[in-house]
Amino acid sequence: DYPKADNQFVIVLRRLTNLDAYDREHAMRLDDPELRRYPFLYILEVGRISLSNDEVRGLRDYLLAGGFVFVDDFWGDPEWYVFEQQMREVLPEHRIVEMSLDHPVFKVFYEIREMQQMPSINHWRGGQRTECPGCEYRVRGIFDDDGRLMMLINWNTDNGDAWEWAEQPDIPLKFTTYAYQLGVNAIVYAMSH
């Protein structure tokens, strides 16, 4: 997805909101001392994530200081278990919970009434509706002690491909609309909470 998805998302974000966003993607390491300068991170393909001690500390400090992470594009139980284990190291005192559409992140800018699972473009074009049989889309979150959503976790979907390939006529508008609306909502939520 990188960097096309990121760049296309930023273009749409700047058109739809008055947020002062970078003109393009800005990749960062989780152990970079400058990480806290950025209130929103997009992390994807975390199914094989393996954080160093410095990255665990950097991500933890970032989240507890008010940062927000949008996680995307990982599929199936094996990838979930890897990600979940890493998050237990980052935030052992905070649980990962199921999110429902009544949470403010789904209403803060756009009102999202239905979640849409987006397979990768290659799976979609191959006639598959998911990247693994039986994989249902789940939106989960991690909250701080005050109830602020710190991490929005999109499991069994690929919003980045919806951003990246939005101009392709064979990608249903419902996928790209949902992915852009969810991304915009997540950023507006992160900037206002």
- Both structure tokens of 54: 């410095």
Give the whole-angstrom CA distance, residue 101 versus residue 85: 26
Can you give the C-alpha Rg of the chain in angstroms? 16
- What is the structure's pLDDT at 176? 95
Please report the beta strands in the chain, taking only residues with DSSP state E, as ranges in sequence order. 40-44, 68-72, 96-98, 138-143, 149-155
- What is the structure's pLDDT at 2? 84
- What is the structure's pLDDT at 82? 98
Per-residue pLDDT averaged across 6-31, rounded? 89
Q: Is the pLDDT of residue 5 over 90?
A: yes
Report which of residues 29 and 119 the model is more confident about.
29
Cα–chain center distance at 30 = 15
Per-residue pLDDT averaged across 61-78, rounded? 97
**pLDDT per residue as tens digits for the range 155-177:** 999 999 999 999 999 999 999 99
The identity of residue 71, as a single letter, is V
The identity of residue 113, as a single letter, is R
User: Do strands 68-72 and 149-155 pair parallel, antiparallel, or not at all (unpaired)?
Assistant: parallel
Give the whole-angstrom CA distance, residue 35 versus residue 28: 7
Number of H helices and E strands in the chain, helices first, is 6, 5
- What is the structure's pLDDT at 24? 72
Burial zone of 165 (CB within 10 Å; 0-12 exposed, 13-18 middle, 19+ buried): buried
Residue 23: pLDDT band by 50, 70, 90 thresholds? confident
**pLDDT per residue as tens digits for the range 101-144:** 999 999 999 999 999 999 888 899 999 888 898 899 999 999 99
Residue 22: pLDDT band by 50, 70, 90 thresholds? confident
Supply the mean pLDDT for the chain: 95
- Both structure tokens of 73: 């594009």
- What is the structure's pLDDT at 74? 96
Residue 188: pLDDT band by 50, 70, 90 thresholds? very high
Give the whole-angstrom CA distance, residue 177 versus residue 174: 5
**Pick from 88, 87, 110, 192: nearest CA to 149:** 192
The identity of residue 24, as a single letter, is R
